[in-house]
Each structure stands twice: as C-alpha cells, then as structure tokens.
C-alpha cells in the first residue's frame, strides 16, 4: 500500500507526521522523501546511505552549422526553454536554450526539420538509497529509505521524484513524504498513491491551502483524509469545511511545546512521546481498512 503525506502549505508538521506513521506501523516499511528541493526526513530517520545515483535529463544542444533559425523548436516547446531570433539584413540568426527551464521532453529534437538538435544529458541532482535502523520499532526491521536532492539552481524536481518512485518496493507499506504546496512536484509525488493524508493546521492560511490540495487530489482521484496538527489552536473553520465536503478527519494532534522542541532536535513525535504510537497505528488501520468513522 502506498500512502503519501502531503500538505497545501509548508510548516504544518507533515514530515514529522510521515516519519511517526512510518515508525508506528507493524511490518516492513519503505520511506520515500520526495521533497527534492528540501529533503529533511533523513534528519529524523538518520538512514545509512548505501547507494547514490545521479539524476540526468536530456536537454537540447544545437548544431548551429545545420540550424536555419526557422523557429519550429521554439514553437513546440511548451516551457519557453528555447529562444530563436531570425537573421535579418544578411546577418546570422541566433538561438538560445535555457536549460534550467527544459523538461527534457524531446519535442524540439523530434520536430527540428534540419536534424540540428542533439540531446545531451544534464545532471540535475541525485538520489540516495539506504536504510534506517537508528530508531527502534517494535516487531519490525529497518525502514528502507530513498530520498533525492535537486542541485542548487535547478528547478525541475519531477524527474528526481520519478527516479525516487522507481524504487518503490511493493512488498512493503510505502510512506511517501510529498513536497509542500500543490504544484507539479506534488502531483508527480501523490499520483498513483492508494491514499493521501493531508496535514493541515486550523488557521485561515491552513484552510486556504487545504482547499487547494483537496481540489488537486479530487482531480487525481486519490482518496484522502485530513490530519489536523496543532488542533487546539486556530478556529473551527477547518472542521466545518471537512464536514461540509465530507472529508474524514483522521487524527488530531494538539499543540505541545515539547513536540516543537523535539522536532527542532530531529526527534519524531513517537520518539519523544511514545504514547502517540498507538494513535499513529490507529491512523494506519483506518487508512488500510477504509473505515473513517
């Protein structure tokens, strides 16, 4: 079963909840941290990394001896990653590739009528594979761990996320920590999940971003429920919204200064407060059994 943990906004406690869930499940667990722009689950899980793989995407390289500056490549590029200036008054044209915007889709080389585009691999980041044994879990072995990291200055997280997800071990319960927000990296992360836990907080900002995340999950047809973190702060509007939209509230975690302090030391909730383990197990059972009452 693949369970992704997402949140419409950052700072809701998504990662500590994802890690605590992973550490509470009886049975084999694999943890994927797909927040390639800012991976931080490793701070809690402290995995031993056994393998590192570079992630590359194919970007166009132009042979200006063959290029006629016809502009076809610019027309087909949906990401504005190519600029072409036709030559005038006998002057040569010019062509520029903005490789940071390139998604490596291959359209430009496919449609170039002159065969002037060659694809070359560009490294955009890496993924690391290992396992975590530092935190003792009852009845279970190590948590298999995979995360990825985008190189500084790169903007394309989805290829890294795809590479991380290629390592999904379907014999285990897979917990995926998604990036915050509702943009392409989130879609790439949560699609094909069996269930998505949306972590929110009961504030106007939290509710606004929750409604956006709900729209995305409904479009993706991924079943989901909500965990309200710092549930005793803020207002009632998140509860009212969930009731109106028929969204199950799976768990509530009240604010505790000690949880925040543990977080700042890289300690997951269930490590600092072992009594929460049973609540996270209950959360998992609700998701597995599809019973949210």
The binding site for ligand SF4 (CB under 6 A) comprises 59-60, 62, 67-73, 76-77, 79, 81-82, 84, 95, 102-108, 112, 114, 116-117
Smallest gap, in angstroms, from Cβ of residue 219 to ligand SF4?
Answer: 23
Helix (H, G, I), strand (E, B) or coil at 271: helix
Q: Which is nearer to ligand SF4, 58 or 223 (CB)?
A: 58
List the Cα angle 253/255/257 in 5-degree steps: 130
Smallest separation, CB 166 to ligand SF4 (Å): 21
Q: How far is the CB of 96 from ligand SF4 (least distance, A)?
A: 11
Q: Residue 61 CB, nearest distance to ligand SF4 (Å)?
A: 10
Q: Is the Cβ–Cβ distance between 24 and 284 less than 8 Å?
A: yes
Question: Rounded to the nearest whole angstrom, what is the least distance from the CB of residue 87 to ligand SF4 in the complex?
Answer: 11
Closest CA to 119 of 65, 161, 58, 203: 58
Q: Which is nearer to ligand SF4, 84 or 190 (CB)?
A: 84
- The DSSP element (H or E) to which 125 belongs, if any, is strand 117-132
C-alpha distances (whole Å) from 250 to each of 108, 165, 222, 231, 253 are 47, 26, 16, 12, 10
Task: Label residues 157-168 b or e (16+ Cβ within 10 Å = b).
Answer: bbbbbebbbebb
Question: Smallest gap, in angstroms, from Cβ of residue 108 to ligand SF4?
Answer: 3
Give whichever of 183 and 208 is closer to ligand SF4, judged by the CB atom.
183
* Residue 130 DSSP SS3: strand
Minimum CB distance to ligand SF4 smaller for 102 or for 196:
102
Residue by residue, DSSP assigns 174-210 as: EEEEPPSSSSHHHHHHHTT-SEEEEEE-SSHHHHHHH
Helix axes 204-220, 237-244, angle to 10 degrees: 20
Q: Residue 70 or 168: which CB sits closer to ligand SF4?
A: 70
User: Closest approach of Cβ 181 to ligand SF4, in Å?
Assistant: 22
Q: Answer whether 59's CB lies under 8 Å from 97's CB.
A: yes
Q: Nearer Cβ to ligand SF4, position 17 or 82? A: 82
| Closer Cβ to ligand SF4, 20 or 109, answer by number | 109
């Amino acid at each position: 079963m693949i369970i992704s943990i997402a949140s419409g906004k950052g700072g809701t406690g998504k990662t500590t909840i994802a890690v605590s869930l992973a550490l509470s499940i009886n049975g084999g667990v694999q943890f994927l941290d797909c927040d390639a722009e800012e991976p931080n689950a490793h701070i809690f899980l402290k995995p031993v990394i056994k393998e590192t793989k570079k992630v590359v995407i194919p970007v166009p390289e132009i042979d200006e001896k063959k290029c006629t500056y016809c502009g076809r490549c610019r027309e087909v590029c949906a990401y504005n990653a190519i600029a072409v200036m036709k030559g005038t008054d006998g002057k040569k044209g010019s062509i520029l590739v903005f490789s940071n915007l390139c998604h490596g889709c291959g359209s430009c080389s496919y449609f170039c009528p002159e065969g002037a585009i060659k694809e070359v691999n560009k490294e955009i980041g890496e993924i690391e594979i290992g396992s975590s044994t530092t935190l003792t879990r009852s009845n279970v072995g190590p948590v298999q761990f995979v995360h990825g990291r985008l190189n500084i200055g790169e903007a394309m997280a989805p290829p890294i996320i795809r590479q991380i997800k290629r390592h999904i071990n379907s014999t285990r319960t897979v917990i995926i920590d998604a990036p915050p927000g509702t943009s392409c990296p989130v879609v790439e992360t949560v699609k094909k999940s069996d269930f998505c836990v949306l972590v929110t907080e009961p504030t106007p900002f939290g509710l606004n971003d929750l409604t956006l995340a709900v729209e995305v999950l409904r479009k993706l047809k991924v079943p989901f429920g909500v965990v309200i973190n710092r549930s005793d702060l803020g207002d009632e509007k998140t509860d009212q919204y969930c009731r109106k939209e028929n969204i199950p509230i799976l768990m509530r975690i009240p604010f505790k200064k000690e949880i925040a302090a543990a977080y700042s030391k890289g300690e997951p909730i269930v490590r600092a407060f072992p009594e929460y383990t049973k609540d996270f197990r209950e959360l998992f059972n609700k998701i597995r059994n599809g019973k949210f009452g």
